[in-house]
Amino acid sequence: MKRSSFLRDQRRLFHHGNWRRFFAFLVFVILASLDNAAAGVLPPLYAIIARAFATDDAALGLITAVYVIIVAIAATVWGYRGDQGQRKQILLIGTLIWGIGMVGSGLAASFWQLLLGQMVTAVGVGGISSVGFSIISDLIPIHRRGLAFSLWSLSQTSGGAVGALLASTVGALNWRWPFFIIAALGFLFAFLYLFTQEPVRGQVEPELTSLFAAGKQYEPRIQRQHLRLLLQQRSNQLLLLQSFFMALAYGSTIWIPRWAIARVQAEGFDLETATIVGNLFVTLFGLGYLFSIPAGHLGDRWQQRRADGRIRLTIIGLLGSIPFFTMLYFIPLQGIVIPANANILEMAWAVLVNSVTNGWAALTFIVALIGLSFYAFDQPNWAALITAVNLPEHRGTVIGMSRLARAMGNALSVGLAGFLFTKLAETAVPPLNYAIGLALFQALVLPAIGCYWLARKAVPADIAAVQNTLRQHAQTHL
């Protein structure tokens, strides 16, 4: 029996390298998951922390908005510095900084101390998001980057889920402990990172094979005058704008844990129980993100068959996700059964049982799974596209720019969502106000799809231009 191409590509993902390269990829992927775990801790704890500090959801939403803006600015600066020289030190320093920030957040005795701790965390996380991305693109050849970035994307999503799960379980008992646990894991992998080998810039580009075979290195590094050229490139413009609209549409989903908690509270459960159960449901829904792996693989295959393959595939995925997400927010969790005085494990088991035996819970799970499966087409294929249309020495900077675009969209989305939920609550009691607000934000996915449609000709042309530039460099420096 022949192996499927998907399994074959998984096995050969690192066939150009060795176990050191695999170890480096593994550490980078875990670091990516941890920085998203750091970002995912706070939202599920909004209600508990708001009560502890005598504040409201809007104030804690402000912390999240400030966090994403600082991450974006830091990612741009770190990414540019990484494109200028060595990237390993930047990743190590960034990890240590966000670990210290998480410890500070856990020790916070007031709203303002929590804000400061999250600001420090954001500075460090920015380095992982852009520089780590650049390193991954130098570990994986272009024709397998969809699959590789699907693992990267899945790790980020899983990290956010782990952060949310810690917040909803351990955090329901003591909201400070999730910050300490994630910080400890960050310090551990910062230590393991010392044993990784930074990949050589450009080493997996086919056009540079002859250059490296001759024992030479790819020397170009980003210059300040390159920044304008990056922003003038048509593909970058459209992909960055697409990032903004996706963040504007989905930044509001940071409130989904609050929506889920309100759904459970509506069934008569207290806040602590609802926090645990609601976030367990959200974590279970996240299984749909597993589809990002075959989605990345499909993107690789479609791109090899036609120049706009990734773009067409992603458009299909995003269009398919809209009706399912819209439906999801209005499905009730009526009749769920959670044992009285249950511990965390018993609650987790009860959530699993309800997802099979309770019709409403089962429907919610299926709709969320399908919606997330369609949505999962976007991130790995967007990442593969942005690396393909930029030179190796520009990728960290461009990713930093994309984080800035996403941050503006996220900050605007989170702020608008908080305001919208508050206004809707005047006429629609929770969880209906959350459902209406989240559904309205799905309309903003359409401009993101439009950016992909406009990029279907620019991207193939810019990919060819990058390949030609690399080929000419190799020929002139042999």
**Residue 146: inside a domain:** yes
Residue 357, number of CB atoms within 10 A of its CB: 12
* Residues shown for the chain: 478
The per-residue pLDDT for 5 is 52
CB neighbour class for 229 (10 Å; exposed up to 12, middle 13-18, buried from 19): exposed
**Residue 222: inside a domain:** no
Helix (H) / strand (E) element for 389: namely none
Written as six digits, the tokens of 55 are: 């504040």
The per-residue pLDDT for 4 is 52
The per-residue pLDDT for 12 is 52
Give me the helices (H) in 389-444, please: 395-424, 432-441
Q: What percent of the chain is helix, strand and coil (3-state, nearest 5)?
A: 80, 0, 20
Name the band, by pLDDT with cuts 50, 70 and 90, for residue 59. Answer: confident
Using an 8 Å Cβ cutoff, are 253 and 439 in contact? no
For residue 119, the enclosing domain spans 22-193+227-476
What would the mean pLDDT of 19-46 be, rounded to a whole number? 80
**Residue 171: inside a domain:** yes
DSSP 198: P
**Residue 307: inside a domain:** yes
Q: Which amino acid is at 132?
A: G
CATH assignment at residue 257: 1.20.1250.20
pLDDT surpassing 80 at residue 15: no
Q: Which amino acid is at 410?
A: N
Residue 268, number of CB atoms within 10 A of its CB: 8
Using an 8 Å Cβ cutoff, are 397 and 413 in contact? no
Using an 8 Å Cβ cutoff, are 309 and 302 in contact? yes
Q: Which amino acid is at 35?
A: D
pLDDT digit string (tens) for 124-180?
Answer: 988 887 887 888 888 888 888 898 888 888 887 788 778 877 887 788 788 999 999
pLDDT digit string (tens) for 282-323?
Answer: 888 888 888 999 999 999 999 999 989 999 999 999 999 999
What would the mean pLDDT of 354-368 be, rounded to a whole number? 95
**Residue 5: inside a domain:** no
**Residue 203: inside a domain:** no
1-10, 193-202, 338-347, range with the lowest pLDDT: 1-10
pLDDT surpassing 60 at residue 6: no
Mean per-residue pLDDT of the chain = 88
Measured CA to CA, the distance from residue 373 to residue 474 in angstroms comes to: 41
Name the band, by pLDDT with cuts 50, 70 and 90, for residue 9. Answer: low
44-53, 207-216, 418-427, 445-454, range with the lowest pLDDT: 44-53
Closest to 261 (Cα-Cα) out of 368, 369, 336: 336
**Could you please report the per-residue DSSP string of 248-276?**
HHHGGGGGHHHHHHHHHHTTT--HHHHHH
The pTM of the full predicted model, rounded to 2 decimals, is 0.85
CB neighbour class for 304 (10 Å; exposed up to 12, middle 13-18, buried from 19): exposed
pLDDT surpassing 80 at residue 407: yes
Using an 8 Å Cβ cutoff, are 100 and 120 in contact? yes
**Residue 339: inside a domain:** yes
pLDDT surpassing 50 at residue 1: no
Residue 277, number of CB atoms within 10 A of its CB: 28
Q: Give the count of domains, the chain.
A: 1
**Residue 310: inside a domain:** yes
Tell me what percent of the residues of the chain surpass a pLDDT of 70: 96
